[in-house]
Amino acid sequence: MKNSEMVPNSRNGIGTRLTALVAKAGGITEVTDKTGWAVSSLRRWMNGETAIKLEDAQELCGMTDSSLEWLASGSGAVTAAGSDESGLSVVPGDDGGAALAVPAGLLNGGRAGCKAYQVHGDAMLPSLPPGSTVVVDSKQAQLLDGQVYMLTLGGAATYRRAQAAPGGFRLVADNQKYESYTLDALGSGSIVGRVVLVLAAV
């Protein structure tokens, strides 16, 4: 670690892990009240815009009984040595990407079948901003009205909201400049699963 700084989110996903630890600690206000950090600084760390200093990372890990090694690299145990329970569920990243840890209570269906993905494109603005991280549960692929799903179309991933319609469902983009689909129009595409958690820039 150079100049007492951690590697920023754009390179190793530390922002998503910071976001998980901040949530575990009680949220942005709780953390900044306890540490004296500026809200703007904490948000920049979480968004991967600036690097967090080593001493600040150590303080956050101490508040949440979490491993500094895991925060810095995504490897190793989430829970610090000697800690009984992390309170976090570790969700694997897509295609070998960095794992994401989230407070266990946020995954009501459990972590089995869940993967973390980064959103590309603006088809689901404002619900899913580009660059946000989502957790998709492949066990929940059955469509429910109003819920957001990850789809594959032509080998590429995209997201649409299920909308009940006569005879079935339509898959609708929140951003109205993008196309909506019927289930029949998916062709060789498929529904990967339901988006159960969104970690977006704040």
Q: Higher-confidence residue: 196 or 12?
A: 196
Express as a percent the part of the chain with pLDDT over 90: 28
Q: What does the angle CA 18 – CA 21 – CA 25 come to, to the nearest 5 degrees?
A: 135
CATH 2.60.120.10, applies to 114-199 = no
- Helix then strand then coil, in percent of the chain rounded to 5, is 30, 30, 40
Express as a percent the part of the chain with pLDDT over 70: 80
Q: Are strands 133-137 and 148-153 parallel, antiparallel or unpaired?
A: unpaired
Residue 7 has pLDDT above 70, yes or no: no
- Structure confidence at residue 1 as a pLDDT band (50, 70, 90): very low
pTM: 0.61
Q: What ranges do the domains of the chain cover?
A: 2-105, 114-199
Give the chain's length. 202
Q: What average pLDDT does this structure show over 24-42? A: 91
Q: What is the pLDDT of residue 12?
A: 53
What are the distances in angstroms from CA 13 to CA 20, 57, 63, 90?
12, 14, 20, 14
Quick: pLDDT tens for 77-123.
676 544 445 566 778 877 666 667 777 667 766 667 888 888 989 99
Q: Which two tokens stand for residue 149?
A: 């799903």
Helices 28-35 and 54-64, packing angle to 10 deg: 120
Q: What is the pLDDT of residue 76?
A: 65
Residue 202 has pLDDT above 80, yes or no: no
Q: What average pLDDT does this structure show over 147-173? A: 91
- Structure confidence at residue 173 as a pLDDT band (50, 70, 90): very high
- H/E run at residue 117: strand 114-118
